């Protein structure tokens, strides 16, 4: 495929887009695992959410 005399601009545009989308995806995936890990640590240390506590009390 011949991108012509302005190939650098085309390649740069695709590279910037791929980089920005990759950063977004990585940020969301890493944030998800971090929140899951923190929640797991809090639950392991015996902290329970009020909604779960009220459900447990009701039973």
Decide if residue 31 touches other proteins (CB under 8 A).
yes
Decide if residue 24 touches other proteins (CB under 8 A).
yes
Dihedral of CA atoms 28, 31, 48, 52 in degrees, nearest 10, equals 0
- Does residue 3 contact residue 11 with C-beta atoms inside 8 Å? yes
Shortest distance in whole angstroms from residue 35 CB to other proteins: 4
Q: Is the four-CA dihedral 31, 34, 40, 42 of positive or negative sign?
A: negative
Residues in contact with other proteins by CB under 8 A are 1-7, 9-10, 12-14, 16-17, 20-21, 23-25, 27-29, 31-32, 35-36, 38-39, 42-43, 45, 47-50
């Amino acid at each position: 495929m011949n991108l012509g005399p302005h190939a650098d601009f085309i390649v740069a545009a695709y590279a910037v887009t791929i980089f920005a989308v990759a950063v977004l995806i990585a940020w969301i995936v890493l944030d998800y695992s971090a929140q899951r890990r923190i929640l797991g640590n809090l639950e392991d240390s015996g902290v329970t959410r009020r909604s779960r506590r009220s459900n447990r009390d009701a039973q």
